[in-house]
Amino acid sequence: MGILLLGKDGQLGWELQRALAPLAPLVACGRGECDLSDPAALRVLVAAARPAVIVNAAAYTAVDKAESDAATAHAINAEAPRVLAECAAASGALLIHYSTDYVYDGKKSAPYVETDAVAPQSVYGRSKLAGEEGIRASGARSLVFRTSWVFGEHGGNFVRTVLRLARERDSLSVVDDQVGSPTPAALIADVTAAALLRLDLGRRLGDGESRLYHLAAANPLSWCGFARRIVELAGGRAGGLRFDAQAIRAIPSAEYPTPARRPANSRLDCSKLAADFDLHLPDWQPYLQRMLAQIVAR
């Protein structure tokens, strides 16, 4: 009756393997152990593991690709969480799941709070929202964390993309009219573990209690601002890159056309999470420094 983790090889899953290990016996599964597009396999897995807590870190996260592959995005981001929630409801397990800032349309001027209206602008956003809704409708005890702009040492993310481009190209243009908080995968994993401890692995949640929280690091900025900070902390030209931070050109989204529409405002107000669990949401920058140090050390 321990913890069952799905998506162990993703950015977040990798950090959850570390953060959840001291809480209870952990069974961690990746694509090799269980394909989330197979509902029957999911049910068999949960029945065999009989977990007290199911943590789902698996997802279809290719935002642009999802626009032309809605069926797969829906299967992984909506159907699979619904099946997991049904299993959790039937067995009394707690389900922990992650969602995104892309459930909002981004038109609000202030940071979003959990009770704000949702209006996803992309297939990915709609599939993630459908996942949340399936969980809420299931009657399972659940925690859903909406996070944003995840980066970590393990897996693909914006930090890796920028570092690669800064080695390949002579210049870079990045959108400056989409604002949000880069959020370290390690922070999400550590907050998940802290919340689990405070909830006594779910025993302090009522029958069928379903909670939604924003979970993002402090210090939001634009993607362009983020790119500049990445290049700056990586040392720019002195650090072996082909340009310095100031050389990165700030552009409007209209100059960077993509298949999926992204929210202009992705800022998430995390005060509910901080208050309910007596936690502090730190700045993302020290985590970025650690990540860059790890990359250099390799």
Ligand X SMILES: NC(=O)C1=CN([C@@H]2O[C@H](COP(=O)(O)OP(=O)(O)OC[C@H]3O[C@@H](n4cnc5c(N)ncnc54)[C@H](OP(=O)(O)O)[C@@H]3O)[C@@H](O)[C@H]2O)C=CC1
121 touching ligand TDO, by CB under 6 A: no
Kindly calculate the radius of gyration of the chain based on its CA atoms and give it in whole angstroms.
19
CB-closest chain residue to ligand TDO: 100
Q: Which is nearer to ligand TDO, 209 or 244 (CB)?
A: 244
Query: Catalytic residue at 124?
Result: yes
Tell me which of 124, 213, 256, 287 is the catalytic residue. Answer: 124
* Four-residue CA torsion sign, 133, 135, 136, 137: positive
Site for ligand X, rule CB under 6 A? 7, 9-13, 31, 35-37, 57-61, 76, 98, 100, 128, 147-150, 155
How long, in residues, is the chain?
298
Beta-strand runs (E) in the chain: 3-6, 26-29, 53-56, 94-100, 141-147, 150-151, 173-175, 179-180, 183-184, 210-214, 221-222, 249-251
Q: Which is nearer to ligand X, 58 or 78 (CB)?
A: 58
243 touching ligand TDO, by CB under 6 A: no
- The binder of 63, among ligand TDO, ligand X, none, by C-beta within 5 to 8 A per type, is ligand TDO
40 token code pair: 């029957």
d(CA 275, CA 202): 18
What minimum distance in Å lies between the beta carbon of 156 and ligand X?
7
d(CA 21, CA 14): 11
284 touching ligand TDO, by CB under 6 A: no
Interface residue list for ligand TDO (CB under 6 A)? 61, 63, 100-102, 148-150, 158, 161, 165, 172-175, 178, 223, 256, 258, 262
